[in-house]
Amino acid sequence: MLDPWLNFVLSLAIAVVAAVALTALVALIIRLVAKRLRWPEPLVRHTRRPFRVVVLIIALWAAVAVAFPAAGAESWRDIIYHALTIAVIAAGAWLMAGLVAFSTDITLGRNRIDVANNRVARRIRTQTLILRRLAVAVIVIIALGAILLTFPAVRTVGASLLASAGIASVVAGLAAQSVLANIFAGLQLVFSEALRVDDVVVVEDEWGRIGEITLSYVVVDLWDDRRLVLPCTYFTTQPFQNWTRQGSELLGSVELDVDWRVSPSLMRERLAEVLTQTDLWDGRAQVLQVTEATGGLVRIRILVTALDAPTLFDLRCFVREAMVTWLQRTMPSALPVQRVLITEPAPPDGSATRESQDEDTRSDDTSASGSGLFTGSVQAQERASVFTNAIPIVDHDEPER
């Protein structure tokens, strides 16, 4: 009993030494290649651990096969072989996933999105990330299927499952309808180029960039560091704005409401001076127009261009501040004002109207009778003579006294 176990220990030691020597040799070759090329570094980062695990499992399997030949206790030997087979399948799937990650990282490294004109790079990046997720999912499914097929009972049940695959697929499709819809929607978004990673979009009245696209959801990085997570079906069923669909260059506007005494020609000259003082402007367009002149204000619209959306926002703020400061300093008469005409409002009950009507009526009656306090009659003249010492008026129709 000791001899087989002693042989197993010796075989295991030799296998481990051989595995270490093999990994050291592979590492040496990669280091030599890495002196001239850059791709071995990400390869080592993604595959070093799974490769070592695979080599150690194979060395352990070889030690068991050498120390315990087929004759003898086959029951526990088969159990060990079964466990080693499952371990090799799992480690191999891990290694394959690492190779997929390495290849996709190489592709992403050659297509950078931190440059000005990055439309093609964003398309390649988006499609590469989706393909990597698909490849990893396929590798995991195949590995699980291979592990299950190592069990004889599962292989026996597999034949009956294949016979009823049609009914099972219908039931599974109905149960996972929303999941499948999101998966197909994600594939549609990626390969139709309707949406790409780092695209500037406006969804749900929110401005942000596409941070991540998966097979089930899309993450939008909003401007205030929030994250908006939406299902993939949202972008295939709801309208949204994509500001970088064809390119990152954008045109923006700045609107100012000023007084009628403004001089658009002087503002146009000042705009040209302001744009030459900043690197935010890309030099494609600069326009100043009077778009509205109704009521008490004149609306000035300024159009400027920039390389991308964040730069355009900063440029609009810069131009707006510069023009407002210039108007305050050099043209204060053009600042917007509100003109108000103040009048005496009529009383709501109409009493003043009635009083004026009464006064008009009294004056009409007085003029009609021809009498007043000091005029219009003999009595009035007598009263006047008392105050003025005037000569009294004698009525010639009466006899003299």
The domain in which residue 14 lies consists of: 4-110+124-150
pLDDT score for 75: 65
Is 90 exceeded by the pLDDT of residue 302? yes
Looking at 280, 307, 334, which one is the last position of a domain? 334
75's tokens: 């029951």
pLDDT (mean) for 311-337: 90
| End-to-end Cα distance, the chain | 181
pLDDT (mean) for 151-169: 58
Least confident of 124-138, 175-189, 322-336: 175-189
pLDDT in tens, 280-293: 998 888 899 999 98
| 146/11 same-domain check | yes
Relative orientation angle of helices 177-191 and 165-175, to the nearest 10 degrees: 80
| 128/28 same-domain check | yes
Q: Per the structure, how many domains does the chain have?
A: 3
Cα-Cα-Cα-Cα torsion 36, 42, 45, 47, nearest 10 degrees, comes to -100
Instruction: Tell me whether residue 261 is in a domain.
Output: yes
| 238/261 same-domain check | no
Instruction: Tell me whether residue 359 is in a domain.
Output: no
pTM: 0.54
Least confident of 172-181, 193-202, 213-222, 280-289: 172-181
Instruction: Tell me whether residue 32 is in a domain.
Output: yes
| 136/25 same-domain check | yes
pLDDT score for 8: 66
pLDDT score for 129: 83
pLDDT score for 364: 46
pLDDT (mean) for 265-288: 90
Nearest CA among 171, 122, 176 for reference residue 308: 122
Q: How confident is the model at residue 366 (pLDDT cuts 50, 70, 90)?
A: very low
Q: How far is CA 77 from the centre of its chain?
A: 59
| 295/201 same-domain check | no
Helix (H, G, I), strand (E, B), or coil: what is residue 195? coil
pLDDT in tens, 210-241: 888 888 889 999 988 899 999 888 888 888 88
| 28/105 same-domain check | yes
Mean pLDDT of the chain: 77
pLDDT score for 320: 93
Kindly state the helix (H) or strand (E) to which residue 254 belongs, with its residue range: strand 250-258
Give the pairing type, strands 200-203 and 298-306: unpaired
pLDDT in tens, 239-249: 888 887 777 67
182's tokens: 């999101």
pLDDT (mean) for 174-190: 71
376's tokens: 């219009």
Please classify residue 250 by burial: count the beta carbons closer than 10 Å to its beta carbon, then call 0-12 exposed, 13-18 middle and 19+ buried: buried
Helix (H, G, I), strand (E, B), or coil: what is residue 302? strand
Is 60 exceeded by the pLDDT of residue 197? yes
pLDDT score for 365: 47
pLDDT (mean) for 16-28: 77
Looking at 247, 271, 299, which one is the last position of a domain? 247
| 185/95 same-domain check | no
Is 50 exceeded by the pLDDT of residue 1? no
Nearest CA among 224, 226, 218 for reference residue 198: 218
Looking at 314, 334, 354, which one is the last position of a domain? 334
| 20/105 same-domain check | yes
